[in-house]
């Protein structure tokens, strides 16, 4: 039975990916920071008749001790062998960069970037010993172009993509593959669960609030079922030679194409017009 460790499975892409892979016959180690939030996953697995293929364990990618325990627990369950890891755990913080507290900036980078690196480092000895393994990273269309009111999340995704593309050189000699999944807008709870920062005295307040409203309207109009991303994750894990970059959603394909081909100034003007931001500039 093929084995995979997935982070951030209490909701969103991680939850539906765990169910999809279990239905396909994978042994899934579903991890989450807070095990009190495992109810939604357990209910989805029960409905799919796939609960027997999934073990739920605690793992916080921002905590070194938790990573050590989580990797040890995973390898104990799988008999010391692991086919793949899916780095899905992610957080965000919305607002103008000047308004976002340093603690929030660091929280996003610790989860979305440093956490991915730390868990990968902990798993690489196993993958090297096996001379096999696949490292799948859930990135975002945010890695292709800047976005208003979303600077730290975008920065985390640009960072993880640059690191992943470089890591691929290191590990290819050991039969280890690195793959990026880059979703566009999907209906998950990351934005609703993320802080939106617009202090009452901020010069950006009116602009930021407009960004939040316009962003919600964009996701409501263009957002799709996250099951599409779950299927892409499973297909990438099962493909013999998957592509390194995998945009999911037609808007992600467009932004992937646009980067480097359309001048950044034109893209910014288009986004400002689409979101109605030029009407609220100082």
pLDDT reading at 268 higher than 80: yes
* Residues 121-133 pLDDT 10s: 999 999 999 999 9
E strands, 68-130, are 84-87
pLDDT reading at 63 higher than 90: yes
Question: What pLDDT band is residue 104 in, cutting at 50, 70 and 90?
Answer: very high
Domain residue ranges in the chain:
3-280
Cα gap 203→280, rounded to integer Å: 11
What is the predicted pLDDT for the residue at 282? 59
What is the predicted pLDDT for the residue at 260? 75
SS3 239: coil
Phi, psi of 82 (to 5 degrees): -145, 125
Cα gap 258→272, rounded to integer Å: 16
What is the predicted pLDDT for the residue at 267? 83
Cα gap 106→56, rounded to integer Å: 27
Tokens of 90: 């992610």
Tally of helices (H runs) and strands (E runs) in the chain: 11, 7
* Residues 174-205 pLDDT 10s: 999 999 999 999 998 887 788 999 999 999 99
* Residues 271-282 pLDDT 10s: 888 788 777 665
Name the percent of the chain lying above pLDDT 90: 80
* CA angle centred on 281, ends 275 and 282, rounded to 5°: 170
Specify the pairing of strand 3-6 against strand 84-87: parallel
Cα gap 54→116, rounded to integer Å: 22
pTM greater than 0.75? yes
Contacts with 29 (C-beta within 8 Å, 6 or more apart), sequence order: 3, 4, 5, 6, 54, 55, 57, 73, 74, 77, 78
**Catalytic site positions:** 153
Nearest CA to 130 among 63, 80, 86, 88?
Answer: 80
Contacts with 177 (C-beta within 8 Å, 6 or more apart), sequence order: 133, 134, 135, 168, 171, 242
The CATH architecture of the domain made up of 3-280 is 3-Layer(aba) Sandwich (3.40)
């Amino acid at each position: 039975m093929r084995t995979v460790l997935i982070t951030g499975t209490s909701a969103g892409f991680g939850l539906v990916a765990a169910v999809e892979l279990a239905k396909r016959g994978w042994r899934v180690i579903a991890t989450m920071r807070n095990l009190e939030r495992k109810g939604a996953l357990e209910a989805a697995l029960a409905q799919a008749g796939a609960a027997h293929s999934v073990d739920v364990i605690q793992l916080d990618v921002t905590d070194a001790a938790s990573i050590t325990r989580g990797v040890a627990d995973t390898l104990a369950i799988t008999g010391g062998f692991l086919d793949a890891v899916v780095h899905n755990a992610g957080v965000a913080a919305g607002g103008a960069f000047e308004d976002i507290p340093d603690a929030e900036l660091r929280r996003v980078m610790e989860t979305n970037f440093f956490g991915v690196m730390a868990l990968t480092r902990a798993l690489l000895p196993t993958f090297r010993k096996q001379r096999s393994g696949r490292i799948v990273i859930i990135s975002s269309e945010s890695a292709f172009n800047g976005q208003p009111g979303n600077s730290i999340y975008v920065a985390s995704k640009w960072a993880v993509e640059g690191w992943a593309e470089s890591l691929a050189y290191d590990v290819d000699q050991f039969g280890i593959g690195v793959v990026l999944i880059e979703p566009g807008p999907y209906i998950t709870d990351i934005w609703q669960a993320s802080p939106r920062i617009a202090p009452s005295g901020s010069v950006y307040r009116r602009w930021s609030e407009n960004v939040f409203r316009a962003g919600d309207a964009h996701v409501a109009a263009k957002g799709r079922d996250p099951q599409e991303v779950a299927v892409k994750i499973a297909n990438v894990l099962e493909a013999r030679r998957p592509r390194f970059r995998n945009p999911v959603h037609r808007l992600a394909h467009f932004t992937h194409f646009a980067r480097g081909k359309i001048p950044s100034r034109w893209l910014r003007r288009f986004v400002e017009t689409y979101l109605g931001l030029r009407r609220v500039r100082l």
